[in-house]
């Protein structure tokens, strides 16, 4: 009876779901808030070459493509709440590290590390949705989560551009680091255990306890599940090819966008503040159009 009543209530009355969405919005915003600050630091302040700027973008994008297939299997075998909190906590430290970066290879390493934890957060959040939301409302919940994620890709760089222009690069990194701290604190308030019971319990539910590590059998299952996902994509060439083309298009678009800073510094007497205002204005226009 209690589960039926929960299923009939709207998502806005589902406190764990609302709390998770608030944390996701802040964390997703932090994913993109630092983007312009890094391009300004590397491209204008350090006068990096176009190839160095391209490699900067590559360091942020490659971990997503390489580690992504394994992240979902990892999220299915560990406590998703603490996996998200760990990802946010790690990014607090990593993003703060940009403040002290003095050479471009420092930025490369920090970007790779941050991207690794970015990849871990998303599947853990998606899995957590199934623990809080009844099956009949799951499609709506996933849609809301997707809108938040996509809007953060618009608002984040725009807000980052405005912060760089108004307060400087350092404060942009400080606020970005703080966003992950706030997200992690909010996540402490969500339940650690499943609220909505499913017909097929997950691995950790069937054991009746939280999984704190991997046994040899669990490691084998982890690899089998990951390879099974790869084989499924291989058996659906249209889907696999579409994903490859989409990933390639996004990657090349990021490369092109990153070279904007090269164009700006060719203009005589250009200020890094102007780049921030331009990116901010672009984001505002895209947000209005969306």
Picking from 166, 139, 143, 147, the residue whose alpha carbon sits closest to that of residue 287 is: 147
| Token output for 208 | 């009746």
What pLDDT digit, counting tens, does each position of 179-214 carry? 999 999 999 999 887 766 654 444 444 444 444 444
**Distance separating alpha carbons of residues 197 and 237, to the nearest angstrom:** 35
Instruction: Give how far Cα 51 sits from Cα of 57, 181, 251, Å.
Output: 10, 33, 15
- Provide the 8-state DSSP code for 1: -
What pLDDT digit, counting tens, does each position of 87-117 carry? 999 999 999 999 999 999 999 999 999 999 9
| Token output for 240 | 């696999």
For residue 65, what pLDDT band results from cuts at 50, 70 and 90? Answer: confident
For residue 266, what pLDDT band results from cuts at 50, 70 and 90? Answer: confident
pTM of the shown model: 0.75
């Amino acid at each position: 009876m209690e589960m039926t009543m929960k299923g009939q209530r709207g998502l806005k009355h589902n406190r764990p779901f609302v709390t998770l969405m608030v944390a996701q919005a802040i964390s997703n915003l932090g994913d993109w808030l630092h983007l312009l600050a890094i391009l300004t630091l590397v491209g204008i302040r350090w006068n990096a070459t176009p190839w160095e700027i391209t490699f900067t973008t590559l360091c942020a994008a490659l971990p997503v493509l390489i580690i992504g297939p394994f992240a979902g299997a990892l999220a299915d075998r560990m406590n998703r709440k603490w996996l998200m909190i760990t990802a946010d906590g790690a990014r607090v430290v990593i993003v703060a590290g940009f403040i002290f970066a003095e050479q471009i290879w420092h930025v490369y390493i920090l970007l790779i590390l941050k991207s690794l934890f970015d990849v871990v957060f998303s599947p853990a959040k998606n899995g957590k949705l199934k623990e809080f939301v009844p099956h009949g409302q799951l499609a709506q919940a996933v849609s809301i989560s997707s809108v938040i994620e996509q809007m953060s890709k618009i608002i984040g760089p725009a807000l980052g551009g405005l912060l760089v222009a108004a307060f400087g690069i350092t404060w942009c990194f400080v606020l970005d680091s703080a966003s992950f701290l706030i997200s992690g604190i909010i996540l402490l308030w969500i339940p650690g255990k499943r609220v909505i019971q499913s017909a097929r319990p997950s691995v950790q539910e069937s054991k009746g306890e939280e999984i704190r590590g991997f046994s040899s059998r669990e490691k084998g299952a982890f690899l089998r599940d990951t390879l099974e996902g790869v084989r499924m994509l291989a058996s659906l060439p249209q889907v696999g090819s579409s994903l490859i083309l989409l990933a390639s298009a996004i990657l090349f678009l990021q490369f092109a966008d990153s070279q904007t800073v090269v164009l700006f510094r060719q203009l005589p007497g250009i200020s890094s503040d102007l780049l921030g205002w331009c990116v901010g204005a672009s984001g505002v226009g895209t947000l209005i159009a969306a």
